Amino acid sequence: MAAFIGEPVQGAGGVIVPQDDYWPRIRQICDRHNVLLIADEVITGFGRTGDWFALSRYGIKPDIVSFAKAITSGYFPLGGIGVSDQIAEAIDAATDQRTWMHAYTYSAHPTGCAVALANLDIIKREGLVQRAAELGQLLLSRLKTLAAHPNVGDVRGLGLMAAVELVADQKTKAEFPPESKIGPRIHAATQERGMFTRLRGDVYNLAPPFITTPAQIERMVQILGDSTDAVLPAMRGAP
Ligand SMILES: Cc1ncc(COP(=O)(O)O)c(C=O)c1O
């Protein structure tokens, strides 16, 4: 049996948001060829994109979903997978000879599970998934103001994950040569101004906590704009 695995929105790869029909079509193709669909929701799961799970926004279900990070909001390490009834039944029905034996030392760690339950209660009680959706819209719309800078090639995001891509040429999207280290220099400039995040090359990624305030989002966008101007000064508003 074959399987297709992917992140609903690529995270560390530079926040690549697929077009709306991508995942429904992948689901159709997998069904047509009897291929399992595995969603890696380690980053996107439990609210990050403004839905509990990113694939649910596209109206489809994976056969297997992997998750970690936000199930405990990172306060305790816990990861896991969810499987469809069909897969669970196949596992349950396996005879001794066909059972796939595997284990991790800390599987089903009770402290991790208790932290997850408490954390999920807080996410529900405080409406943090909805908050991530609303703040995400604010973040994206404010980041889009940075697109006026001629070296901003793309601004993209879904929920509280977003990215600003810096390019040498806005029209052709030609990248800066790696040795110019534009991304790392902008990262250093944002750090000097009090913001730390993660880069992928010249793509500046943002994934703030669900409890971020609108004022902090404004500040983040301000810092990134100021840092871009500091590293690429001749560009903004240049004749
Ligand atoms: C989307 C995604 N999947 C999987 C992993 C790896 O997870 P783990 O460290 O739990 O193996 C990561 C780690 O950052 C990730 O971002």
Structure tokens at 52: 């509990």
Rounded distance from Cα 66 to ligand 1 centre (Å): 9
C-alpha closest to that of 143 among 72, 218, 66:
218
Give residue-wise pLDDT tens across range 198-230. 999 999 999 999 999 999 999 999 999 999 999
Confidence of residue 100 (pLDDT cuts 50, 70, 90): confident
**DSSP category for residue 8:** S
Q: What is the arithmetic mean of pLDDT over 14-28?
A: 97
Mean pLDDT value across residues 84-104: 88
Tell me what the pLDDT averaged over the chain comes to. 95
Closest protein CA for atom 16 of ligand 1 = 43
Q: Residue 173: which region, alpha, beta or left (left: phi > 0; alpha: psi -120 to 50)?
A: left
The alpha carbon of 48 and the centre of ligand 1 are apart by a number of angstroms equal to 14
What tokens appear for 143 in the block? 């980041």
Residue 94: which region, alpha, beta or left (left: phi > 0; alpha: psi -120 to 50)?
A: beta
Distance from the CA of 42 to the center of ligand 1, in angstroms? 6
Q: Is 5 in the pocket of ligand 1 (CB under 6 A)?
A: no
Task: Encode pLDDT of 122-170 as tens digits.
Answer: 999 999 999 999 999 999 999 999 999 999 999 999 999 999 999 999 9
Residue 41 has pLDDT above 90, yes or no: yes
User: Quick one: average pLDDT of 180-200?
Assistant: 97
pLDDT on residue 192: 98
Nearest residue (by CA) to ligand 1, atom 15, is 42
Rounded-to-integer distance, Cα 129 and Cα 163, Å: 20
How far, in Å, CA of 15 to CA of 8, rounded?
10
Structural domains of the chain in order of their starting residue, each with its CATH number? 3-125 (3.40.640.10), 128-231 (3.90.1150.10)
d(CA 174, CA 168): 6
Query: Quick check: 239 pLDDT over 60?
Result: no
Q: What integer pLDDT is reported at residue 96 of this predicted model?
A: 84
3-state secondary structure of 203: strand
User: Which of 5, 38, 42 is the best mutation target for the ligand 1 pocket, counting ligand atoms within 8 Å of the beta carbon and taking the most?
Assistant: 42
* Segment (H or E) for 25: helix 22-32
Confidence of residue 102 (pLDDT cuts 50, 70, 90): confident
Token pair of 201 as six digits: 């090359």
How many other β-carbons are positioned within 10 Å of the β-carbon of residue 44? 29
pLDDT at 234: 54
Pick from 43, 66, 106 the residue to mutate for probing ligand 1's pocket: most ligand atoms within 8 Å of its CB: 43
202 CA distance to ligand 1 middle (Å): 21
What residues are paired with 3 via a beta bridge?
Answer: 36
Percent of the chain with pLDDT strictly greater than 90: 90
Ligand 1 centroid–CA 65 distance in Å is: 13
Q: Whose alpha carbon is nearest atom 3 of ligand 1?
A: 42
Give residue 234 CA to ligand 1 midpoint distance, Å: 39
